[in-house]
Structure 1
Amino acid sequence: MVEAAPETVVPPAPRPLPGKIAVPLALAAGLTQLLAFPRYDLWWLAPVSVALLAAAVHRRRALAGAGLGLLAGLVFFGPLLEWTNLHTGMLPWILLFVAESLFVALLGAAAAYASPLVDRHRWTWPLLTGLLWVGQEAARDRLPFGGFPWGRLAFSQGDAPTLRFASLGGAPLVTFVVALAGGLLVAAVWRRRGLPSVLLGAGAVATTVVGFLVPVGGGAGQQPVRVAIVQGNVPRLGLDFNAQRRAVLENHVTGTVELAGRVATGQERKPDLVIWPENSSDVDPFLDPEAAAAITRAADSIQAPILVGAVLRGPGENEVRNAGVVWLPGQGADESRMYVKQHPVPFAEYIPLRNIARMVSKEVDRVRSDFVAGDKPGVLDMGAATIGDVICFEVAYDGIVRDTVTAGGGILAVQTNNATFDESEARQQLAMVRLRAVEHGRDSLMASTVGVSGFVTSDGAVHQETGFNTPGVVVAELTPRATRTLATQLGYWPEMVLSGLAVAALVATAVIRRRRPVPGTPGGAGADPAPLASAPPHTASTPADEGDGSRTEAG
């Protein structure tokens, strides 16, 4: 009698972490990511957050990964964006942070789906983690209504050596490096075979520390110029700052005139140019003679051009523009030197689908006139220097800032109005200015109505930072530059390549999943290279004991 050849039995699929562990890990991922951002600034927690979420979703079904990603996103974005509910009520804030959290849910689903690729080729885990984070942010930066890039991993790295990677590949590369470090951490904790955990952990640290070797700074520049920021403050914080627009304008005039007085008495050197913040003149100076006269008085007193943040009526009925206007001493406004904000904020500066939006919240009716977008980069000749003007939230958008630099901006000026928010929002925005300064090798500044204002040199360091909800005038020397960093030259390519590789990794996962045999059936394509003859066929193994198996638990 001929004996039948024994069948090669595929052992049960490796299992994910139990739910009672995965759920707390996802919650901890959101919390640690929050703590990495201003005001807390524990930047080193960003890779830890990435690692926690990666561990929570590994080997789960895509839907379960999405649920865990959503939990992490809610814990992160809820407190991070809490400043949006200070004066508009709870509902708009909830809608915003839930919408942002859905992208983290997508990330969780994608990471869970890609688990077979990780289990077959464990070395891919750190790379895959970095790629998926870049892809998630690329989508969130654009969708819907032009996207909302707040809370990118890169924006948490203001004090970290990883910030320096911005000069090579912008915010996408910084995010990739941070998430790569997180992937190395989770691989170090999860894995016992292959590379020792201590080496993987050391790799995570090295990935971060190597940032110190990346050169930053804009290189040789032009003659330094003295720049003054006037932070006039507002009588009251809140949405009704518009009702105080005459007082706000007068505050900025007064601050400039007082600076001129200090110059006249020799207490301060005369600035070459002055920057006022967004909304420093919500009275249209082209239509209101009193507003024009007040700004002219300020410019004539200081004898330097002023970049005025103004709200201008038109071009159509119920339309306005958010603009930076150069005001010259002895001449007044130069309409040829004006920048109109290119990316008005949906549901704040204009209302898409207004009738539908009103059903959600009647607060939309506070926006009586829709802001019209400009179509040119903010490059303004102010005599002593060419300023690259960026208004408020535009600093979060890679393309707008880059276009401003490539069009000739020698110094970046971010005009903003934080009177409707709080100090945490201002500090989150200042962190973005720091990244942009390094990314493009430009000395930069942020001028706010209420703070925080300050100067940022091309190495990302902050100087003469003002307080919040207080008037202030600060003056510093900045160096205009025309050089371009590698990040400026590469433009969208780092993000496109990294996002494309993320898609390729998911396609490779789909191929692996199609070839994978059903657990408990004779081995075939995708099975382990050798049967585990000594292992009980239905013994579940723990994640720490798994090697580089090709199958994962789908549930």
Structure 2
Amino acid sequence: MALTLDPVHPPEAVPRTWRERVRRGLPRAGLAALCGVLLALSFPPYGIWPLSVVAVAGISLLTYRRTVRQAAWSGLLFGLTFMLWLLYWIGVIGKDAWLILSVVEALYLVLMAAGLALVSRMRWWPLWSALVWITQEWVRDRVPLGGFPWGRLAFANTSSPYTPLAALGGAPLVSFAVALSGTLLAAAVLTYRQRITAGVLVVAAVVVGLLGYAVPLPTAGQTVSGPAAARIAVIQGNVPHAGMDFLGRPMQVLQNHVNETLKLAAEVKAGQVPKPDLVIWPENSSDVNPYITPEAYAAITTAVQTIGVPVLVGALVDGPDNQHVLNEGIVWDPVSGPGAHYTKQHPVPFGEYVPFRSILMKYITRLQRVARDFYPGRTTGILDVGPARIGDVICFEVAYDGIVHDSVAKGGRVLVVQTNNATYEHTDQPDQQFAMSRLRAIEHGRSVVIAATSGISAVIAPDGSVVHRTKLATAAAFEETVPLRDSLTPADRVGAWPEWVLALAGLGSVAAALAAGRQRRRRGLPTKDEKTSTGDSA
């Protein structure tokens, strides 16, 4: 099945004027923008995951055997509508930040669309097209400044039939399966007159989507030496108000978390709830440096000693010099006080540090709000907190495959996500990040414990099911018995290899398509886009 049949519609005459080109291009442009909207709706908080498959099919049809310029234009409209909708929450920081980031992220989809057009001229083009999607995600997750993984197909499919595939090959395998289903459906549309071929393609797309049901997912604890479960308490102290100035007066956020911990301790003492084995506080739960602020140190110590078990405290502390701070999770013991700690490895550009500070500060005065840059940690977040060896990741780090993988591969028996989403409290961001945590649970066969200052705090089982979830903008404290696991999933064992293989294969397919086009031109033969292009510029 070569899947290189001509489109079912005959080529049209080439329009002569730019007005004609624009007029003929408007329907295609509108469809490209519509595909971007559909893809955005597949992500939380809407979570209509089948639309991710439809969107892939749509942009595949719009770029099928188009010229590179035509495909890039479709990709730009597709990427802009998708990213502007998906990342609207960035507007809390500033509309300019939202627009700039959306445009930058959309440019990757422009390049992807051009690649889709090139590989659509090859045999087995649905396969190569799906691989090109992974190439785009692979690059966008890393470049520039460490990348920005928001918008991966896998993150729209954190509770779909595709999700269990994460246990085999991580988020990249989920994205590939979604993309392959979409490109197969696009091929079915193009061959609809050949009913048997089209039917086979539809069945293949469905089968790819159902493969995840064959992947077994763990639910219970599993141990080699330590306990198989731990009772973990999560404290969500809440913040004075959402937005850029969520902290309120100094010590207020810290006192909120101290108060909720003391309330829990009183319930334990009264026999209303069992005593936990450990307690998790969120990122920035101490809004002042407890090492140099005696009141903060004393307040945390009182709370920890009253509950009587180790507490993981999130705090900003001084860095190696007066120009840097550290974003840390600190293990605070009721007897020995603060001890082991994890420092966030991947600070957020422009949010937690300013790249090219000496230049940009002259032109963007709002960056002065980031007075000191966050200094990146150099070690993985493996911490012993009571009976549990946890893999700690902080906030946006949950979006990065390598950081979460290392937290499990190096000994984490339960994943802990300390986060502070108070800036984005009334936006889509907390739901989008929560969905990523669900995928990580399945990918690594670990429970995920999320502690957020103002929500969403939660416990997610190793099979991705939600055990407990708090409401936004509320103070809360809850306990759950969480399974602890030592065994590694296939995704843990293979690490980043599946993504590299898939991405390089996609890159190779584009290179092969370019080489084939050059060879045809040397031989004086018309290229396939010359045969089938309708001639519009959009």
TM-score, with structure 2 as normaliser: 0.91
User: Residue 444 of structure 2: which of 425, 440, 450 is its match?
Assistant: 440
SS at match of 1:241: coil
Equivalence for 2:162: 162
Equivalence for 1:275: 280
Give the superposition deviation at 1:241: 2.3
Gaps of 5+ in 2: 1-8, 14-23
Equivalence for 2:37: 31
Q: Deviations over 1:174-198 (max 9, x none)?
A: 0000000000110011123485222
8 Å contact from structure 1 (residues 27, 75) kept in 2: yes
SS at match of 2:290: coil
Equivalence for 1:500: 504
Amino acid in the other structure paired with 2:81 = V
Equivalence for 1:99: 104
Q: Deviations over 1:438-475 (max 9, x none)?
A: 11111111111010110111111112110011111121
SS at match of 1:30: helix
Gaps of 5+ in 1: 1-12, 528-537, 544-551
8 Å contact from structure 1 (residues 218, 485) kept in 2: no
8 Å contact from structure 1 (residues 450, 471) kept in 2: yes
Q: Which sits farther off after the overlay, 207-216 or 435-444? A: 207-216
- Equivalences for residues 462-477 of structure 1 within 5 A: 462-477=466-481
Amino acid in the other structure paired with 2:440 = R
Give the superposition deviation at 1:14: 7.3
2:120 is the alignment partner of 1:115 = yes
Q: For 1:183 and 1:330, how far apart are their aligned partners in 2? A: 59
Distance verdict in 2 for CA 1:394–1:508, change over 3 Å: same
Give the superposition deviation at 1:542: 9.6
Q: For 1:129 and 1:167, how far apart are their aligned partners in 2? A: 23
User: Residue 46 of structure 1: which of 52, 70, 83 is its match?
Assistant: 52
Q: Deviations over 1:28-57 (max 9, x none)?
A: 210111110000010111110111111111
Question: Hey, which bits of structure 1, 4+ residues long, moved more than 6 A?
Answer: 540-543, 552-555
Equivalence for 1:210: 211
Q: For 1:390 and 1:134, how far apart are their aligned partners in 2? A: 24
Q: For 1:257 and 1:347, how far apart are their aligned partners in 2? A: 36
- Equivalences for residues 54-453 of structure 1 within 5 A: 54-86=60-92, 88-117=93-122, 121=123, 124-191=124-191, 192-193=193-194, 195-217=196-218, 221-222=222-223, 223-334=228-339, 337-358=340-361, 361-422=364-425, 423-453=427-457
Equivalence for 1:548: none
Q: For 1:343 and 1:472, how far apart are their aligned partners in 2? A: 28
Give the superposition deviation at 1:395: 0.5
SS at match of 1:244: coil
SS at match of 2:361: helix
Q: Which sits farther off after the overlay, 22-31 or 372-381? A: 22-31
Give the RMSD, CA atoms, in angstroms: 2.4
Structure with greater Cα Rg: 1
Give the superposition deviation at 1:360: 5.1
Amino acid in the other structure paired with 1:183 = T
Aligned residues: 514
Q: For 2:324 and 2:532, how far apart are their aligned partners in 1? A: 64
8 Å contact from structure 1 (residues 125, 184) kept in 2: no
Amino acid in the other structure paired with 1:418 = N
Q: Which sits farther off after the overlay, 75-84 or 130-139? A: 75-84
SS at match of 2:328: strand
TM-score, with structure 1 as normaliser: 0.88
Q: For 1:511 and 1:158, how far apart are their aligned partners in 2? A: 38
Give the superposition deviation at 1:518: 9.1
Distance verdict in 2 for CA 1:553–1:424, change over 3 Å: closer
Amino acid in the other structure paired with 1:92 = A
Give the superposition deviation at 1:217: 2.0
8 Å contact from structure 1 (residues 60, 553) kept in 2: no
8 Å contact from structure 1 (residues 37, 155) kept in 2: yes
Q: Deviations over 1:456-502 (max 9, x none)?
A: 11111112110011111121111111111000100111001001111
Q: Deviations over 1:276-331 (max 9, x none)?
A: 00000121111111101111111111111100011001210121000000001122
8 Å contact from structure 1 (residues 341, 373) kept in 2: yes
- Equivalences for residues 512-527 of structure 1 within 5 A: 512-516=516-520
Equivalence for 1:4: none
Distance verdict in 2 for CA 1:553–1:93, change over 3 Å: closer
8 Å contact from structure 1 (residues 59, 554) kept in 2: no
Distance verdict in 2 for CA 1:212–1:344, change over 3 Å: same
Q: Deviations over 1:379-402 (max 9, x none)?
A: 001121101000000000001111
Q: For 2:112 and 2:11, how far apart are their aligned partners in 1? A: 20
Give the superposition deviation at 1:125: 2.4
